[in-house]
Structures are given as C-alpha cells and as structure tokens.
C-alpha cells in the first residue's frame, strides 16, 4: 500500500521544490506542504556555481535557469583596508570548460520561479500552502505527517526541507536551536546607476576587512546591484529580516577604506539578519524520514553554496529513489551516506573562510593577501574543483 502513497515534502523553498521535481523525473508522485500562504523566496540575489547548473539540467530546468541568470566575469577579492585587489578568478570560457557549466548570479524569485513553473507543469506534484508540518509517526511501511489544525497525511516517505528552524529536525535529531554566529548581515538592492561608476564591475566582488565584509554583484539584467554587507559584532540573538537605518549599517564599516565604505551610502531599505548555522551531523535519516537542504546542513553563506547544496541533495535523493524504488529506507540511507561528508565540508569550510578570508585582520590578513594574490588561475580552479565539479551524484 505504501508504494501507492505519494512522498510528502515539508517546505516549499528551493530544496523542497527541487526535490519534488527530481522525484517527478523518476515517475514518483509527491505533495509539497508549505507553511506560508504563498510559495516564493524573500531576499534578492543568490550566486550559483556550476554544480548548481548541473542540478538544473538533471531537474529539467537548465534552459530556464540559464535564461534568468546574469553571467559575471570574475569572482573578485578586494582588501577593504587598502582598496587594492587581492585576486580575481576568471569565470569565462576556461572556467566553463573546466567545470562544464557557468558561474552566475540570479534573483532568488527568478530561480525559485523556474523550479516552481516546472512543478506546476507536472501531474506528479501537488503543492499545498498554509500547511504547517509539526512532526511525524511511522510504522515501518508508511509515514504519518502531523499538521497544525489539519488531519494528518500519510506518505511513503517524508522529506524534511523545512529550513534552518526545522520542526522535523527537532524531532529527528533534537539538537536544539541553531548556533548564532555573531555575524550580522545587512541586505539592500540599489539601482545600477547609483552604484559608484568605477565599481560597476561584472563580478561578484568581496571586500574583505577586519571583522567585516561587503559583497556586491549586478542582478536583474544589470538593472540593480545586490548588496550584502556583514559585520562580525558578536551579537548573541538570532534576528531575521529586521528593517534598520543606514546609520546602524555604517557602524561596522567605519574602519575600512572610503572607496569600500561609500558603497553602503547608496543602499536604501536595509534589512538585518543575524546568521546562524549548525555543527555537521552524520545521521539525518530516521527510517522513512530524511532531512534535506538547510534542515540537514545549514551553513554560513561564505561559499555561496547553501542553495547549491540543497539542489545537489535533491538530485541525489531522486537518484537514490530511482535506483531503490522498492526499498525506501535503503534509498534514504544511501542518500545521506553520499551527501553527508560533502555538505559537512562546506559547513566547516564556510566558517573557516569567514575567519581567515572574509574577516581576517593583522597578520592573518597579510597571510591571506600573500597566499591568495600568488595563485594562478589554474591554482584557483584546482582548489575549487572539489566544490564546483560536484553534481549531487558523486560523493
């Protein structure tokens, strides 16, 4: 009987709807349960590595994702104290040849929209909003999903893609609240013509300074620049999307070069997030229930890979369901075995590059500058191959 039940997916973010799409490609029906009244994405831009493009192709939305993306020429690293360039990694033909796909930036709503359109076009995917998933019970042959103010729903498996504060992770792992990093991120978007003319680079640019950094890149067909600026101010409380004044944003950046500081002056409608992550864990599966995306491995954004990892998870999960369709528990176990070391590495390395690259000061910054300015393009590609060469199908 469980074979005829759909897979239930909790959470309609990038990870959840990518998983639904991947399962549909294997002929498996699913129901996506989203707590919010509407499916969508908040925030502005997101960077997507070639590993994510491999996933879009697998999920059948490669063309749609490519059409909506902005193709940048470089990943550029600037010293925020001296305003000098430390390194620039070219992303053009050689990069694409090496990794089989481009590096790009895209508006979150466009990316989510490409996946959502494909879900809506599939007979195998049902999308339900205003469904708050509280927990689950299982009996070895099916899973019962417990919902707020609604009857429970039975599925052949439950995929928990319910994000950083996952209710299902609380039941499955029970490792408490996420770790508050003490890094405060402020986000804004500015019209391209308000970006200082000499900084209108076709690049994802990182200005790295002591305990702070600034990231900017063009978005929406070059109509706007996405700004994400972060101050390591050791705050202890998690905050999500709180509007803040420009004066408050300026405070963490008074010690950096005026050329970098001026970028903040052009931002409006700033919003604040205090970033959280978790320590990696090795076990994200309980029988017929598995975590995916931020619910499984929330990370700081310094590798710009959280959504890319959720997409890889979706690919791997669908692949395992396709290969072990008669044995869901084996499929889920294989999925977590394949994904856990790679995602743990990105979680841990994201913390490390936060300390040693993004927010370095004094001698650490000098070491960063010397090492990174000395790398050739091939050195960079070799160092990034483990990450950008991934597809979700390899460990």
**Nearer Cβ to ligand FAD (30/167):** 167
Alpha-carbon distances, residue 176 vs 31, 169, 310, 345, 348 (angstroms): 27, 9, 21, 21, 19
- Least gap, CB of 185 to ligand FAD (angstroms): 5
**Nearer Cβ to ligand FAD (6/13):** 13
**Nearer Cβ to ligand FAD (297/319):** 297
- Least gap, CB of 47 to ligand FAD (angstroms): 4
From 312, 314, 313, 334, select the one nearest 324 (Cα to Cα): 334
The secondary structure of 234-284 as a DSSP string is ---S---SEE--HHHHHGGGTTS-HHHHHHHHT--S-EEEEEEE----S--
**Nearer Cβ to ligand FAD (114/369):** 114
Residue with tokens 């500058």, as numbered in its chain: 369
Pair of tokens at residue 14:
């990038």
Q: Which residues pair with 143 in a beta bridge?
A: 138, 155
- CA gap 228, 47 in Å, rounded: 12
* Binding footprint of ligand FAD on the chain (CB under 6 A): 10-16, 33-36, 46-47, 131-133, 161-164, 167, 185, 228, 273, 293-294, 301, 304-308, 310
- Least gap, CB of 167 to ligand FAD (angstroms): 5
- Least gap, CB of 274 to ligand FAD (angstroms): 10
Helix (H, G, I), strand (E, B) or coil at 377: helix
Helix (H, G, I), strand (E, B) or coil at 44: coil
- CA gap 338, 332 in Å, rounded: 10
**Nearer Cβ to ligand FAD (15/178):** 15
**Nearer Cβ to ligand FAD (195/229):** 229
* Cα 169–chain centre separation: 18
- CA gap 292, 290 in Å, rounded: 7
- Least gap, CB of 300 to ligand FAD (angstroms): 8
- Least gap, CB of 276 to ligand FAD (angstroms): 9
- Least gap, CB of 87 to ligand FAD (angstroms): 19
**Nearer Cβ to ligand FAD (369/390):** 390
């Amino acid at each position: 009987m469980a074979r005829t039940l759909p897979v239930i997916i909790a959470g309609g973010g990038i990870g959840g709807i990518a998983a639904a799409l991947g399962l549909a490609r294997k002929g498996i029906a699913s129901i996506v349960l989203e707590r919010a009244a509407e499916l969508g994405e908040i925030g502005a831009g997101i960077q997507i590595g070639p590993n994510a493009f491999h996933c879009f192709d697998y999920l059948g939305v490669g063309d749609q994702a490519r059409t909506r993306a902005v193709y940048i020429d470089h990943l550029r690293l600037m010293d925020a104290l001296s305003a000098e360039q430390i390194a620039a990694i070219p992303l053009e033909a050689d990069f694409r040849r090496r990794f089989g796909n481009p590096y790009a930036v895209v508006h979150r709503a466009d990316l989510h929209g490409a996946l959502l359109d494909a879900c809506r076009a599939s007979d195998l995917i049902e999308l339900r909003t205003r469904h708050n998933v509280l927990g689950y019970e299982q009996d070895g042959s099916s899973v019962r999903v417990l919902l707020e103010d609604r009857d429970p729903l039975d599925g052949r498996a439950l995929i928990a893609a319910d994000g950083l504060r996952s209710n299902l992770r609380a039941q499955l792992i029970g490792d408490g609240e996420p770790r508050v990093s003490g890094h405060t991120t402020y986000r804004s978007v500015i019209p391209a013509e308000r970006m200082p003319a000499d900084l209108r680079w076709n690049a994802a640019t990182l200005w790295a300074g002591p305990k702070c950094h600034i990231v900017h890149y063009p978005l929406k067909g070059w109509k706007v620049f996405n700004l994400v600026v972060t101050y390591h101010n050791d705050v202890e409380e998690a905050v999500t999307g709180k509007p803040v004044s420009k004066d408050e944003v300026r405070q963490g950046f008074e010690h950096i070069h005026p050329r970098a500081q001026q970028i903040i002056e052009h931002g409006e409608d700033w919003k604040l997030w205090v970033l959280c992550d978790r320590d990696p864990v090795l076990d994200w599966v309980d029988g017929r229930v598995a975590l995916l995306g931020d619910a499984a491995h929330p990370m700081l954004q310094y590798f710009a890979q959280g959504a890319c990892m959720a997409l890889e998870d979706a690919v791997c999960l669908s692949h395992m369901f396709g290969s072990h369709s008669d044995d869901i528990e084996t499929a889920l176990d294989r999925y977590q075995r394949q994904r856990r070391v790679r995602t743990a590495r990105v979680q841990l390395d994201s913390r490390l590059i936060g300390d040693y690259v993004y927010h370095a000061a004094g001698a650490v910054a000098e070491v960063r500058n010397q090492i990174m300015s000395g790398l050739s393009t091939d050195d960079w590609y070799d160092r990034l191959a483990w990450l950008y060469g991934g597809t979700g199908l390899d460990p």
